[in-house]
């Protein structure tokens, strides 16, 4: 099928020189995608570049590396990065493995059909149920007067707060973040597991492979790229999340997004340029994660060919 549309055919039958026809075509080629690119440039790319450039400038616009260096030298900022990375990393890893386990259980575990559809529906909802309402739900459950807290205290005589439990610790936040990380993993990884063809298992069995060999040599290499990609998505998801943590402790909690939030609201670090540097650091970390993802994926795709 040729690429000529009717209007161009009409033009082509006229004795007009072809140059004129291409001159006519060019704007219509781009006009459909123009709104998209203008929008992306104005409201996604330029604002990001603006922050990145600002990270390397003093207040008067001259070049400096001081802001970037301060990310490392200021202990309150570097520790907030460290806490954020830890929370995002572990919630992504634990969420990914738990989500994978649930996905394998419902797709391959021989459970009745309703478990699959119920899990997928619920995961779709729960992966979008984040932010403030999620924090409220956990406060009602495990807060100081939460239902589970009081049940444990009154019935089993276990006071989890006396045992050192707290939402504002790294592990407390990880547990809460898993509530949207696990379902997100399930939603994304189930199609990948569905993609494992029955014939592969049969072929492996015919060739004498054991169950563990089948998993090690067939299943894991095939779902590895989607698994890794989702881990990185989960990492970025947790790294930028702010509302849930903010609902627990307001501006007091020392993670990067909340630090940036306070800085934007009131210049708490007393250096407007430092806000740019914090934002730049966040982009670098999520960007690096994606570079790793692409690198891993090209490596594993070589094996998939």
Could you tell me if 290 and 237 are in contact, meaning their C-beta atoms sit under 8 angstroms apart?
A: no
* Residue 68 is a binding residue for another protein (CB under 8 A): no
Residue 220 beta carbon to another protein: minimum distance, rounded to whole angstroms? 17
Instruction: Select from 20, 23, 26, 43 the one that contacts another protein (CB under 8 A).
Output: 43
Strands (E), the chain: none
Report the alpha-carbon distance of residue 73 to residue 66 in Å, rounded. Answer: 10
Query: End-to-end CA distance of the chain, in Å?
Result: 30
- Give the residue with the Cβ less far from another protein, 5 or 210: 5
Give the 3-state secondary structure of residue 57.
strand
Instruction: Select from 12, 65, 72, 147 the one that contacts another protein (CB under 8 A).
Output: 147
63 forms beta bridges with 57
- Give the residue with the Cβ less far from another protein, 51 or 160: 51
Instruction: Select from 152, 286, 292, 297 the one that contacts another protein (CB under 8 A).
Output: 286
* Residue 210 is a binding residue for another protein (CB under 8 A): no
Instruction: Select from 287, 299, 303, 304 the one that contacts another protein (CB under 8 A).
Output: 287
Instruction: Select from 192, 231, 233, 255 the one that contacts another protein (CB under 8 A).
Output: 233
Instruction: Select from 71, 223, 228, 260 the one that contacts another protein (CB under 8 A).
Output: 260
Site string for another protein, 74-103 (x = CB under 8 A): ------------------------x--xx-
Q: Is 285 exposed, middle or buried (0-12, 13-18, 19+ CB in 10 A)?
A: middle
Residue 218: C-alpha distances to residues 99, 223, 227, 303 (Å): 20, 9, 14, 11
Instruction: Select from 11, 21, 137, 160 the one that contacts another protein (CB under 8 A).
Output: 137
Report the alpha-carbon distance of residue 81 to residue 77 in Å, rounded. Answer: 6
* Residue 182 is a binding residue for another protein (CB under 8 A): yes
Nearest to 64 by CA among 223, 274, 266, 220: 274
What DSSP string describes 205-258? HHTT--HHHHIIIIIHHHHHHHHHHHHHHHHHHHHH--HHHHHHHGGGS--HHH
* Residue 6 is a binding residue for another protein (CB under 8 A): yes
Instruction: Select from 78, 171, 271, 290 the one that contacts another protein (CB under 8 A).
Output: 290
**Which residues from 99-128 bind another protein, rule CB under 8 A?**
101-102, 104-106, 108-111, 115, 119, 121-122, 124-126, 128
Residue whose pair of structure tokens reads 């001081």 in the numeric block: 66
**Which residues from 16-35 bind another protein, rule CB under 8 A?**
28-29, 32-33, 35
Instruction: Select from 68, 196, 243, 268 the one that contacts another protein (CB under 8 A).
Output: 243
């Amino acid at each position: 099928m040729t690429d000529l549309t009717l209007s161009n055919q009409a033009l082509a039958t006229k004795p007009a020189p072809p140059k004129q026809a291409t001159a006519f075509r060019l704007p219509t080629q781009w006009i459909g995608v123009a709104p998209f690119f203008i929008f992306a440039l104005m409201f996604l790319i330029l604002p990001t570049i603006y922050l990145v450039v600002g990270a390397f400038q003093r207040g008067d616009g001259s070049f400096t590396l001081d802001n970037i260096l301060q990310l490392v030298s200021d202990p309150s900022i570097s520790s907030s990065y460290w806490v954020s990375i830890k929370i995002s990393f572990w919630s992504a890893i634990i969420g990914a493995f738990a989500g994978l386990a649930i996905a394998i259980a419902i797709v391959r575990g021989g459970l009745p059909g309703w478990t699959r559809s119920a899990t997928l529906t619920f995961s779709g909802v729960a992966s979008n149920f984040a932010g403030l309402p999620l924090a409220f739900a956990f406060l009602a459950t495990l807060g100081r007067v939460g239902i589970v807290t009081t049940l444990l205290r009154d019935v089993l005589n276990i006071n989890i707060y006396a045992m050192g439990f707290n939402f504002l610790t790294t592990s407390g936040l990880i547990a809460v973040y898993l509530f949207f990380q696990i379902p997100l993993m399930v939603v994304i990884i189930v199609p990948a597991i569905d993609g494992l063809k029955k014939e592969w298992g049969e072929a492996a069995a015919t060739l004498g492979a054991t169950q563990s060999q089948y998993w090690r040599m067939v299943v894991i290499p095939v779902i590895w790229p989607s698994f890794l990609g989702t881990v990185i998505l989960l990492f970025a998801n947790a790294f930028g999340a702010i509302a849930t943590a903010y609902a627990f402790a307001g501006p007091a909690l020392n993670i990067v997004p909340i630090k940036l939030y306070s800085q934007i609201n009131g210049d708490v670090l007393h250096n407007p340029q430092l806000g740019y540097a914090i934002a730049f650091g966040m982009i670098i970390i999520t960007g690096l994660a994606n570079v790793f993802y692409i690198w891993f994926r090209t490596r594993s795709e070589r094996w998939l060919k």
